[in-house]
Amino acid sequence: MKTRQLGPFTVSAIGLGCMNLSHAYGTPVSAEQGERVLLAALDAGVTLFDTATLYGFGANETLVGRVMKSHRSKFTLASKCGLHGVDVAGDGKIVRVIDGSPATIRKNCEDSLRRLQTDVIDLYYLHRWDKKVPIEDSVGALADLVKKGHIRSIGLSEVSASTLRKAHAVHPIAAVQTEYSLWTRNPEIAVLDACRELGTTFVAFSPVARGYLCGLLTDVSTLDAKDIRRPMPRFLPENYAANLKLLQAYNAIAKEAGCSPAQLALAWLLHKAPHIIPIPGTTSVEHLHDDLGADNVSLTPELIARVEAVINQQTVVGPRYTAQATSEVDTEEFA
């Protein structure tokens, strides 16, 4: 695969987001299937694997650690802290907690290293900025982990350009990870340019719009009851029906480009700027290989302009998050 720079690391131009194997989209796949996907990605040339404390409340890190331990020298390992599950009431019900305090960051890192069965995490993100804690304090704690040799570089997730600059003044920020796809263009407001200015890589999660741009999800009523997409405004039945209408023109452009719909979404990101690395996730080896095929798709400026006109923040119906989820992130928003 082609490569791109991620902080001090040279990685495959397309990474693997490991979340889907353990978290978010209904019942997780079996451990055996998760292992198949991880090893297939490694065999195909993927050298960036992205997980987090939150995913499966530790289960995803455990899976990645078990499967990938013997291949540790072959890839760049990324994980995240500051957003995790806690049994607050003591009744076994796990709830998400955003906590960017230095003590929690240190504890998250200790737990991640144990689950990942490694001595060092290459790229460690603050999963969400805890707005009760100055970003300088959270990044200071991460910088201490760098000094101790527990992590090699620091990343931030879902932050604004302003927050990135404040953090970067404390310690160089290797990467910012935020949702970015044809239907979520918020990074274009400011943070993409800030990353370019500071030499920070932009890692795009949900690059195929949580499956929408694959063209396979035609009926949201089939989503698992625990699928996190169910309450998302764009996936509400009436809104999604409107959004599906955009795919006819989109799929026609993909056919013209000689690629699959998912490949068009990923190739678009790769063409936007050299400091962007998409990290699609999947539970299927077949879909994995389809995603990675985007590395060889060439798009003309004219075709890029056409696809951007079909799917953008003005043609898509519904915001990307609920009001509650929006309050938890620090990203710029379109009016």
Give the residue numbers annotated as catalytic, written as ranges.
55
Please name the amino acid found at residue 157. Answer: S
- Return d(Cα 52, Cα 132) in angstroms, integer: 21
- Return d(Cα 60, Cα 66) in angstroms, integer: 10
- What is the full DSSP assignment across 14-28? S-EE-GGGTSSSSSP
Long-range contacts formed by 215-218: CB under 8 A, 24+ apart:
215/247, 215/250, 215/251, 215/261, 215/262, 218/244
Written as six digits, the tokens of 115 are 């689950």
Please name the amino acid found at residue 295. Answer: D
- Return d(Cα 320, Cα 167) in angstroms, integer: 25
Residue 279 contacts residue 50 (beta carbons within 8 Å) = yes
Helix/strand/coil for 258: coil
